[in-house]
């Protein structure tokens, strides 16, 4: 039993140190951005799609506010 727990712990550590996504494995990145994927999900009829659309709208509003604040800071 102890050997099995030790094996699983080592396996978990190795999985945690795998290095990340497909970009680190030499696989070319997908040509679709995360924003485009989220927009496609938001436009679909999937459950929770309206939440994705709302999150995208909130992110756009926050980016617009940040840009407005940056332009005010640059003006002074």
Domain boundaries, the chain: 33-76
What is the value of pTM for the model shown? 0.54
Beta-carbon neighbour count of residue 52 at 10 Å? 18
Q: Are 52 and 38 in contact (CB under 8 A)?
A: yes
Tens of pLDDT, residue by residue over 33-65, are 999 999 999 999 899 999 999 999 999 999 999
pLDDT for residue 20: 59
1-36 burial string, b = 16+ CB within 10 Å, else e?
eeeeeeeeeeeeeeeeeeeeeeeeeeeeeeeeeeee
Q: Are 11 and 5 in contact (CB under 8 A)?
A: no
pLDDT at residue 14 greater than cutoff 70: no
Tens of pLDDT, residue by residue over 19-30, are 655 555 555 667
């Amino acid at each position: 039993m102890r050997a099995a727990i030790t094996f699983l712990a080592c396996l978990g550590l190795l999985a945690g140190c795998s290095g990340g996504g497909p970009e680190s494995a030499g696989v070319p990145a997908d040509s679709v951005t995360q924003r485009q994927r989220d927009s496609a999900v938001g436009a679909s009829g999937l459950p929770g799609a309206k939440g994705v659309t709302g999150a995208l709208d909130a992110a756009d509003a926050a980016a617009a506010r940040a840009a407005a604040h940056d332009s005010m800071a640059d003006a002074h």
